[in-house]
Amino acid sequence: ALGTELIRVVEELKKAGVKRIILFGSLAKDDIGIASDIDLLVVQETKKRFIERLVELYDIINPRYALDLLVYTQSEFDEMKEKNIFVKQIIREGKLLYEA
């Protein structure tokens, strides 16, 4: 069920024009339990503020399961992958699902 939802969510994000999708968390580690959700880091070119990006993509996706999104612009992502420990860990341990 989560796998099917992940495929659907990725397709919706691709249609929305995102540049990169990285899966992280329990699904990326194949450690799926009853409380598992879908954790995605998304890179998207936008001028919108962080919260507005989230609202827009959640509206487009209309998730059927618990979904955590992090949405960054390319420049934010480039800066964070150098300085942010959490983003570094996502890059190291996550799975790149899509890159335009």
Whether 34 has a pLDDT exceeding 90, the answer reads: no
Q: Which CATH superfamily is domain 2-99 in?
A: Beta Polymerase, domain 2 (3.30.460.10)
Which residue reads 């949405």 in tokens? 71
Q: For 54-63, b where at least 16 C-beta lie within 10 A, e where not — what string?
A: beebeeebeb
Domain boundaries, the chain: 2-99
- The pLDDT-based confidence of 31 (bands split at 50, 70, 90) is confident
Quote the pLDDT of residue 16: 96
Q: Give the tens place of pLDDT for each residue, 7-22.
A: 999 999 999 999 999 9
pLDDT (tens digit per residue) in 51-77: 999 999 999 999 999 999 999 999 999
Q: Tell me: pLDDT of 1 over 90.
A: no
